A and B are shown apart, each in its own frame.
Chain A
């Protein structure tokens, strides 16, 4: 199936740990993104990356870093996890900028204890 996939679907971890979430898209899109949806359901963009340019939302702590091994993957690394990092993280992709449809992955529910 053509889609955006993420692993793991659920992630429960202790404060202070380092974790990664993987994302892959097989839609041939040139731009990928990470979003965070908090407990109040507010969806906010964290990063966008298109092989040429990484755009970082200035509010994102530098403990969060995206890593793109190739055009089809954009993984999210989180260092020194904090309680406030608990949220659902969505990966997404689109073809050209924000005018085109964003295709979201199923989300990763992160719980920091």
Chain B
């Protein structure tokens, strides 16, 4: 089983719709979780951290389910500018340390007008 798995998509979604995708991780000792966004031929940028209690930032909501070892990202009222690849990132090293960061391969989202 791969360490961090995501459905690569692409997810084709009409503008204004709600879209959600999940990411599963294999290491139950994983400590911290993130969603990064990567536009075509650009660098990844942090979208949001994922907290145990779940967190929301505008149209974006992230959830963590430790028991089932997955995190989710929900995008409401999707915009054309949301089209990108969304990378799930998991840190399995207690106390941090980027050497413990594992990136998923990303989920490609296309918002259609």
Contacts and interface: CB of A to CB of B under 8 A. Distances in A.
Interface of A: 31, 33, 40-45, 48, 55, 57, 90, 92, 94, 96-102, 104-107
A90 B43 contact: yes
B85 interface: yes
Given A41-B106, A43-B87, A90-B43, A102 B101 contact: yes
A55 B97 contact: yes
A98 B98 contact: yes
Contacts, number: 59
A98 B105 contact: no
Contacts of B54: none
B43 A106 contact: yes
B91 A98 contact: yes
A98 B30 CA distance: 12
A31 B105 contact: no
Q: Which 10 A-B pairs have the closest CB atoms?
A: A97-B96, A104-B43, A99-B96, A43-B103, A98-B91, A98-B98, A55-B99, A98-B96, A101-B46, A48-B98
B32 interface: yes
Contact of B96 (A41, A44, A100, A105): A100
Interface of B: 31-32, 36, 42-46, 85, 87, 91, 93, 95-101, 103, 105-106
A53 B106 CA distance: 30
Contact of A99 (B42, B85, B91, B103): B91
A94 B32 CA distance: 15
A42 B3 CA distance: 12
Contacts of A104: 43-45
A105 B95 CA distance: 25
Contacts of B45: 104
Contacts of A98: 32, 91, 93, 96-101
A44 B103 contact: yes
Contacts of B44: 43, 90, 102, 104
